[in-house]
Structure 1
């Protein structure tokens, strides 16, 4: 699903006051970490992750890892935080994606 500018703007506004749910620390990135992120985003559709100061990876590394190994979209990178979006597989969890597709 390719997002238009208005759709991206809507997602950014919805995530404005959102707190990061996951963090990347000194253990770095792993398939288990990505699986947990994928499970969480299936229920929420929109979430933030934070890269801690002691992490060995950069925001660009995290962005590339997520995009190459999953179908999660990185909507925005601000400092050490990333905004992620993925349409939920379960129709009961589709709150944000219904609003996004209506634009």
Structure 2
């Protein structure tokens, strides 16, 4: 499900105005965090996740692991915020950040 450069640019533009929906903190990628990210991706398709962990390498590893677990594509990573995308099976135009 690799995104093209044009798609990534379009999603970064949309993601600029979004606020983080989920925060990953000291407990790491718990089951609750994974379920919430999965639910948010199914509803919104494009979401921001905030990582409140101290080390840069740990943050990058957690970002990759989260994307693998929820089968999402990393669009952009700036500072403590990751913008991730996964196409919904049945997108809801009222909730999807891509269809608004």
TM-score if structure 1 supplies the norm length? Answer: 0.80
Unaligned runs of 5+ in 2: none
Give the length in aligned residue pairs: 97
CA-CA distance at 1:25 after TM superposition: 1.1
Aligned to 1:30: 30
Aligned to 1:81: 81
Unaligned runs of 5+ in 1: 99-103
TM-score if structure 2 supplies the norm length? Answer: 0.82
Runs of 4+ in 1 over 6 A off after TM superposition: none
Aligned to 2:63: 63
Aligned in 2, Cα 1:83/1:95: closer, same or farther, shift over 3 Å? closer
Question: How big is each residue's C-alpha offset from its partner over 1:46-102, in whole Å with a ceiling of 9 and x where there is no partner?
Answer: 1101112568x8321222212332211111110111001010111435662x7xxxx
Looking at structure 2, the residues matched to 3 and 19 of structure 1 have their Cα atoms a distance apart, in angstroms, of 22
Aligned in 2, Cα 1:32/1:95: closer, same or farther, shift over 3 Å? closer
Asked if the contact 2:22–2:33 (Cα under 8 Å) also holds between the matched residues in 1, the reply is: no
